[in-house]
Structure 1
Amino acid sequence: MKFDLHTHNERCGHATGTIRHYVDAAVDAGLSVIGISDHSPYFYSEQDQLFPGIAMAKSAFAAYVEEVLGLKKEYADKIEVLLGVESDFFPEHLDLYRSMYEKYPFDYIIGSVHLSGGVSIFNKNRWKGLDDAEHIVHKETYYDLIQQSARAGLFQILGHIDAMKGFYPAFSDIPTPKVDETLKVIADEDVAIEINTSGKTKTVGGWYPSDLILERALHYGVKVTFGSDAHVPQRVGDDFELVSKRLKEIGFKEWCFFRNKERVLVTL
């Protein structure tokens, strides 16, 4: 059974294709389940669309939900379409985001840390001129935020939990026990993590998270799911079979997707 829970579309401003294009691509790729999970609006902003090239407008959110629900009905005999969203995690605005999501029948919400210390996790300039101790501080600040997102009680899935390595591969080698500590928190909170294959499109050239993190995740009993993080329809389901094979080699027996915020286990 093939599924992909992490896809975007033109509403966010940096993906191409309509939601229908992604659903059709999933059908063509032989998927049984496709999740639509575009970037949530910046609900805290007074502006309708604070960053047009990053996330959809607040005024577009209800129409986004309506469109996904319409496609869910239309394609019911071809593929299961799930309503999701990739939510930025801002601890100071958690209650606001929670209140916005409660209005809609989401199958799942992906919680992703995209900003750490007020700087994009993908900004490679953040590492310039830092000594070893400062590298550790940046990495631990990032994982502190991921721990908070796991404890928030809002997310079924945590997105790309080592994506800070995307344009700075040396991130993975910064020594800290914080990664293991974070995996234990995720397991204790019973939140899933995704294997996100979009890392292959970045400098690091590999999936999120690393095999080492996946091995530790298995040790702690963390549940896993799959997401291509497709920003073009052609990447829907990208590397699904390879990820499945690698997970079995690591020792995983199952992974999961979410329907009505309930975990559905799938044997590998």
Structure 2
Amino acid sequence: MKFDLHTHHDRCGHAEGSIRDYIEAAIEQGLSVIGISDHSPYFADRSDQPFPKIAMARSEFPRYVEEVLKLKREYAGKIDVLLGVESDFFPEHIDVYRRFYEPYPFDYIIGSVHKSNGVSIFNKNRWKGLSPERQVKEKEIYYDLIAQSARSGLFQILGHIDAMKGFYPSFSDIQTKAVEDTLRIIGECGLAIEVNTSGKTKDVGGWYPSDSILELALHYGVDITFGSDAHVPSRVGDEWEQVAARLKEIGFKEWVYFKEKQRIAVPL
């Protein structure tokens, strides 16, 4: 049974295609479940769409939910369409985001850290001129945010938990116990992490997270799910079979998806 819980569409301003395009692509790829999880608006900002190339407008959010639910009904019996969202995590605004999500029947919410210490995690210039000690500190700040997101109680899934390596592959070589501590906390909180295959579109050229993090996830009982993080319909389900095979090699017996915020296990 194939599923993909992490897809975007044109509302966020940096993806191509409509929600229907991603559903149709999922059917073509033989998926049984497709999750729609576009970038949340910046709810803490009073303006409607402060970053039009990054996230959808606040005014679009109810229409987004309405469209997914309409398509869920339309495609019933062909494919299970799930309502999700990829939510930015800002600890100082977590209650604001919680209030905005509460009225809607989300199947799951992905919590993703996209900014750390005030800078985009994908900004490779953030590493220029940093001493080894400062690099460790920056990595620890990032993983502390991920740990806080796990403890927030808002999310079922944590997104791309080593995506800082996307445009800075040496990120993986920075050694700190914070990574293991964060995986332990995620396991204690009962959340899933995704294997996200969009790293292949970045300089790092591979998945998020690394095998070493997946091994820690197995050790600490962290559930695994799958997300292509597709920003074009052709990437829906991308490398699903390869990920499944690698997880089995590492020692996982199952992975999961979420419907009505309930965990559903799928044997590998």
TM-score bin (small chain):
over 0.9
Aligned partner of 1:158 in structure 2 is 158
In 2: Cα distance, 1:241 partner to 1:130 partner = 39
Deviations 1:191-237 (A, max 9, x none): 00000000010000000000111011101111000000000000000
TM-score by length of 1: 1.00
Aligned partner of 1:234 in structure 2 is 234
Name stretches of at least 5 consecutive residues in structure 1 with no aligned partner.
none
Per-residue deviation, 1:60: 0.1
Aligned to 1:87, the other structure's residue is in SS state: strand
Per-residue deviation, 1:5: 0.0
Matches within 5 A, 1:52-91: 52-91=52-91
Deviations 1:157-190 (A, max 9, x none): 0000000000000000001000000000000000
In 2: Cα distance, 1:42 partner to 1:216 partner = 32
Aligned to 2:53, the other structure's residue is in SS state: coil
Deviations 1:46-79 (A, max 9, x none): 1100100000000000000000000000000100
- Does 2:144 correspond to 1:144? yes
In 2: Cα distance, 1:195 partner to 1:116 partner = 21
In 2: Cα distance, 1:119 partner to 1:199 partner = 19
Aligned partner of 1:105 in structure 2 is 105
In 1: Cα distance, 2:216 partner to 2:146 partner = 16
- Does 2:25 correspond to 1:19? no
Letter aligned with residue 129 of structure 1: G
Per-residue deviation, 1:35: 0.1
Name stretches of at least 5 consecutive residues in structure 2 with no aligned partner.
none
In 1: Cα distance, 2:215 partner to 2:95 partner = 33
Aligned partner of 1:178 in structure 2 is 178
In 1: Cα distance, 2:16 partner to 2:193 partner = 25
In 1: Cα distance, 2:75 partner to 2:249 partner = 34
Aligned partner of 2:245 in structure 1 is 245
Matches within 5 A, 1:112-151: 112-151=112-151
Aligned partner of 1:201 in structure 2 is 201
Letter aligned with residue 230 of structure 2: A
Q: Which runs of 4+ in 1 moved over 4 A?
A: none
Per-residue deviation, 1:147: 0.2
Per-residue deviation, 1:44: 1.0
Aligned to 2:84, the other structure's residue is in SS state: strand
Letter aligned with residue 55 of structure 1: A
Per-residue deviation, 1:24: 0.3
Aligned partner of 2:46 in structure 1 is 46
Aligned to 2:85, the other structure's residue is in SS state: strand
Aligned length: 268
Aligned partner of 2:167 in structure 1 is 167
Matches within 5 A, 1:211-226: 211-226=211-226
In 2: Cα distance, 1:17 partner to 1:111 partner = 23
Aligned to 1:108, the other structure's residue is in SS state: coil
TM-score by length of 2: 1.00
Per-residue deviation, 1:91: 0.5
Aligned to 2:49, the other structure's residue is in SS state: coil
Per-residue deviation, 1:122: 0.2
Deviations 1:97-134 (A, max 9, x none): 00100010000000000000000000000000001000
